[in-house]
């Protein structure tokens, strides 16, 4: 699909990238909790887009800016002009501008949350008022609603693979809910990357979390934004 795609940068007759269509993918076969996955999808679908003013007023705006800086550095360091990109758990498309600035040539974004994918499509097409500052992206895109940690993406993306870059930003830990989902995530990444391709990703550091729990046998590690409680025995913590 990505080769010779109407509206691609290599097609000089195209005036702008084509509008993306939301595509629903079939049920996968990994062993996981449907309730957990649905709760994650519903949570992110329910989140509304924010204006720049609302974003700046967020109590965690500095954390968001740090995360965006990390992602920007990774994208700029590892993207070559014309690269085909697979963005796993792409959310509302907040990184589209990063890929555009890095001169990516083709983009596939997949996310489990239907509401997020609708927002991503709107952002890509430049239909929302608070995205008018950048109406057009230089690369064609395909946007898919589906669980990238359950589906066999080599089947879903047979016409798009291989990819130069596979990216999963601040979301890979969602695949750790079961071993089957974790294995599917790693399988999707490895099978869809071209030989010599690059995977870039970010996730919480489990070593830091466990270290904090072990220090003084803390059962509650939290702040006003992120509560985390644990109720193991003392032996369980020190044996983990």
Residue for token digits 């097409």? 125
Tens of pLDDT, residue by residue over 154-172, are 999 999 999 999 999 999 9
Percent pLDDT > 90 in the chain is 48
CATH number of the domain enclosing 69 = 3.40.50.150
Range of the domain at 230: 205-240
pLDDT of residue 228: 58
Same domain for 237 and 191? no
Q: How many distinct structural domains can be found in the chain?
A: 2
- Determine, yes or no, domain membership for 226: yes
Structure tokens at 162: 């291989």
Asked if residue 233 and residue 181 are part of one domain, the reply reads: no
pLDDT of res. 139: 96
DSSP state of 162: -
Exposed, middle or buried by CB within 10 Å (0-12, 13-18, 19+), for 52? exposed
Same domain, 100 and 210: no
Give me 230's structure tokens.
Answer: 């644990």
Q: Are residues 175 and 218 in the same domain?
A: no
Q: Which residues of 203-232 are buried (b: 16+ CB within 10 A; e: fewer)?
A: eeeeeeeeeebeeeeeeeeeeeeeeeeeee
d(CA 63, CA 177): 25
Residues 76, 171, single domain; the answer is yes
Domain membership of residue 4 (yes or no) is no
Asked if residues 115 and 101 have their Cβ atoms less than 8 Å apart, the reply is no
Residues 59 and 112 in one domain: yes
Q: In whole angstroms, what separates CA 170 from the centre of its chain?
A: 7
* Range picked from 61-75, 183-197, 216-230 for highest mean pLDDT: 183-197
Q: What is the pLDDT of residue 193?
A: 97
C-beta of residue 128 within 8 angstroms of C-beta of residue 146:
no
Whether 3 maps to a domain, the answer reads: no
């Amino acid at each position: 699909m990505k080769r010779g795609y109407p509206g691609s940068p290599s097609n000089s007759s195209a005036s702008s990238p084509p509008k993306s269509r939301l595509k629903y993918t079939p049920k996968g076969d990994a062993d996981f909790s449907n309730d957990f996955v649905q709760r994650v999808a519903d949570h992110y679908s329910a989140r509304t887009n924010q204006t720049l003013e609302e974003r700046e007023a967020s109590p965690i705006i500095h954390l968001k800016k740090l995360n965006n800086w990390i992602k920007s550095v990774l994208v700029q360091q590892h993207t070559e002009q014309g690269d085909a990109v697979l963005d796993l758990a792409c959310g509302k498309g907040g990184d589209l501008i990063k890929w555009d600035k890095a001169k990516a040539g083709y983009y596939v974004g997949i996310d489990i949350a239907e509401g997020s994918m609708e927002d991503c499509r709107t952002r890509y097409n430049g239909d929302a008022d608070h995205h008018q500052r950048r109406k057009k992206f230089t690369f064609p895109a395909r946007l898919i609603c589906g669980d990238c940690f359950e589906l066999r993406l080599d089947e879903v993306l047979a016409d798009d693979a291989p990819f130069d870059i596979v990216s999963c930003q601040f979301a890979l830990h969602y695949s750790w809910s079961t071993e089957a989902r974790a294995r599917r995530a790693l399988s999707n990444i490895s099978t869809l990357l071209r030989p010599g391709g690059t995977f870039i990703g970010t996730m919480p550091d489990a070593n830091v979390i466990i270290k904090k729990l072990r220090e003084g046998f803390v059962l509650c590690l939290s702040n006003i934004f992120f509560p985390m409680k644990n109720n193991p025995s003392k032996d369980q913590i020190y044996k983990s």
